[in-house]
Structure 1
Amino acid sequence: MADTASPRGLAFESPVVRDYPTSEGGDLTLTDASATTKWLVRAGADGPTADRLGARFGSSQVAPGGALVLGSRPGEWIIVGTPDEVAAAVADLDGLEAQEFMTALDWTHSRAMFRVTGADATSMLEKVCGIDWGDHMTPDGAVLSASVALTTCDLARNDRNGTPSYLVFCDRSFGQYLFDALIDAGNEFGLAVSAG
């Protein structure tokens, strides 16, 4: 992905610094989506911020402006999308800080984010994560935290056109390691890689 400038004018640099052969059209893909705008919001689990954001713990939903809101923990949300979509979702929270203690932090530069998409995405993730990826446990819209390749991650199922797709977030410092671990897990399934 091309480097993009943040609202503060800082150029984004992906945590994935190695070069990989890029291929397209595969049934299983791994994409470095780290440049996607990401914000972390914390507030009361049952207060006005929770009501405004709508996504309860363990679930996700699309905000009116198009951003994806992930209920990552009780009283904690991750908002992802284009800069304009995320800005609209965060701006929609203006005034709520007068009703409860609430924080909103730009997480774009501090978190890596990868997208795994394809029919074999669940089989790939099962190799590096001890979660039941069946539809009955992690349906489209599910949000959870788990260890992926021994790295603490936030994960969200966010299907694309009916195809299983997962967002995997980790601290930026683990980004390169996790990306390589996901490649290793997906190679047997014909993984196509799109990095930096």
Structure 2
Amino acid sequence: FYSGSQELENQVVGAIQEALDYLGFSHQELILSGLSMGAFGSLYYAADLEPYAVIVGKPFTNLGDTTAALKLKRPGEFETSADMLRNVGGGSDQEAIDRWNARFWDKFGKKEFAKTDFAIAYMEQDDYDGLAIQRLIPHLANTQATLYAKGYEGRHNDNSRSINKWFMTQYHKLLEIGFERKF
């Protein structure tokens, strides 16, 4: 999830900025993208980097809730998230769960994303973070961001082929839209 101490998170942003500088690119030529865990990082760091686009599939935004529900919804899977809850959220009680959820929304929720396009593919019955899309779409609809979203029937790991195909199609579309005049 590329989440951790402030020092780690500053290093992630610094590494991306260093690469942009090296390539002679601005943040408006940056596309952040990821699937599942990588979707969290892409969305989370969009608040710091204000990229041209964010392309994600099967997003996570409420990591505390996701971790708390694993025992019932996906027993035996992704148990390392409990360690992350303790390390990042500061415990395993409801306050830690709420803190970990708030960590994303406190950062992401303050941005208007005036020049950012968001392409989000999601599973309609996502059993990891079933609230991600229910919160992302209404939030982004109230910002200046451009939003493309596509839902697919199923749980988090169902129909990955369709999610991946849509994900790659968005790359082509957003590169055409945003860069056809530059090259």
TM-score by length of 1: 0.27
TM-score by length of 2: 0.28
* Bigger share in helix: 2
